[in-house]
Amino acid sequence: MNDIRLKRRFINYKKAFAGLADAVALAEKRELSDLEKQGIIQSFEFAHELAWNVLKDYLEHKGYTNIIGSRDASRTAFKNSLIQDGDA
């Protein structure tokens, strides 16, 4: 695992999460069109994809192997206290 790749992916995740947070804030202020709602869903999916990939990259950097998908990444992150609420 390359440190630069992990850092870049984390930066991209932070940008995606900020965009999602902005969209949710807008949705709290006014009713969104169907197209805007679809955009929020897509933003969530993108942020989620980046989030579990950051976890996977970080855990692989720490020596963990056999992390195949988001479920494996999330469970391993929870077991290592990277995620605090594993039941949510």
pLDDT at 70: 92
pLDDT at 63: 92
Model confidence at 58, pLDDT cuts 50, 70, 90, reads very high
pLDDT at 3: 82
Cα gap 23→27, rounded to integer Å: 6
On whether the CB atoms of residues 23 and 39 are closer than 8 A, the answer is: yes
Least confident of 9-13, 24-28, 79-83: 79-83
Give 49-57 contacts, CB < 8 A, sequence gap 24+: 50/9, 50/12, 50/13, 50/16, 51/13, 51/17, 53/9, 53/13, 54/6, 54/9, 54/10, 54/13, 55/82, 57/1, 57/5, 57/6, 57/9
Reply yes or no on whether the pLDDT at 83 is more than 80.
Answer: yes
pLDDT at 73: 93
